[in-house]
Amino acid sequence: RESSSKTSTTTATRTTRKILVNQLPCEAFVMKMMFRKAMFVSPMLLLVLLSLEAVVPTLGLSLSDNKSIGAGRRAFLGSVGTAATALTLNPRLGWADNGLPLPGSPAPEFELPNSRGNGVTTLQALTKSGKWTVLYFYPGAFTSGCTLEARGFQRDLDEYRKLNAQIVGVSVDPVEKNAQFCSEEKLDFYMLSDRGGLISKKYGSALSIPGFGTFSNRQTYIIDPNGNLRWIFTDVESRIARHSSEVLEKLSELERTA
């Protein structure tokens, strides 16, 4: 009878934690995973996470109002050190890897499976077409921020074509998930699957989180027809709604001066 009581209490506790996690307005893909793990690991850790008003801006993560995608983003109320100390986790938790390639240098090579299901796509194949490439990295398909970003690129796709440019997305999501995302959102461009985040690391766009793995940070790269990196957008998370318009403006400027 005592064992049955303990089991019921444990089940009730986990159910309560699950309800709290599901009610969080956090759109950040990685943070949601952290909440779910904390739900079973430590009630105290969950309470600390619940008390955070937002997350570190340099991660490209944020809290948002569910009533409006991307609205109501707020600045983090503490420093990275404070958050790391409060959570008693690795101080490097969530920090984007250093090593951004320099504009003007050759873009890092890659060979990744694409969401079209017709094999792999390489940087050489993209530049061989003589087009400019907008290569954008995103944390995870179907999250609110990534959906809003993709819709922005789709909305402006004709403008990119006028500028002889192509859009290609990159995330650590499996091919099948990226394909489903493109299909459901009716995207006329495709995604590349960077399982393990190796290419994200080469581009300085990786988030390595102990216990969770590596994810792609939200960053965008403009690559010219010669395969050279011409521009990097690192502050994308706080500007998702207007990001595509800003990319178009910069792309037009770069082409005029090329």
User: How far, rounded to the nearest angstrom, does the alpha carbon of residue 24 sit from its chain's CA centroid?
Assistant: 19
Mean pLDDT over the full length of the chain? 75
Q: d(Cα 76, Cα 59) in Å, to the nearest integer?
A: 11
Summarised one tens digit per residue, pLDDT across range 200-257 is 999 999 988 888 889 999 999 999 999 999 999 999 999 999 999 999 999 999 999 9
Average pLDDT estimate for 83-96? 31
Give the alpha-carbon dihedral of 78, 79, 83, 89, to 10 degrees. Answer: 180
Q: Can you give the pLDDT at residue 199?
A: 97
Q: What does each C-alpha distance from 222 to 30, 164, 207 come to in angstroms?
A: 25, 12, 20
Cβ atoms of 230 and 135 within 8 Å: the answer is: no
**How many C-beta neighbours within 10 Å does residue 30 have?**
23
Q: d(Cα 220, Cα 236) in Å, to the nearest integer?
A: 8
Q: Can you give the pLDDT at residue 34?
A: 55
Q: Does position 83 have pLDDT exceeding 50, yes or no?
A: no
Q: d(Cα 239, Cα 52) in Å, to the nearest integer?
A: 21
Cβ atoms of 218 and 138 within 8 Å: the answer is: yes
Average pLDDT estimate for 131-143? 97
* 3 state DSSP class of 114: strand
Q: Give the residue, 77 or 105, on which the prediction is more confident.
A: 105
Which tokens go with 100?
């951004």
* 3 state DSSP class of 256: helix
Q: What percent of the chain has pLDDT over 90?
A: 57
Rounded to two decimals, what is the model's pTM? 0.67
Strand partners, 111: 122
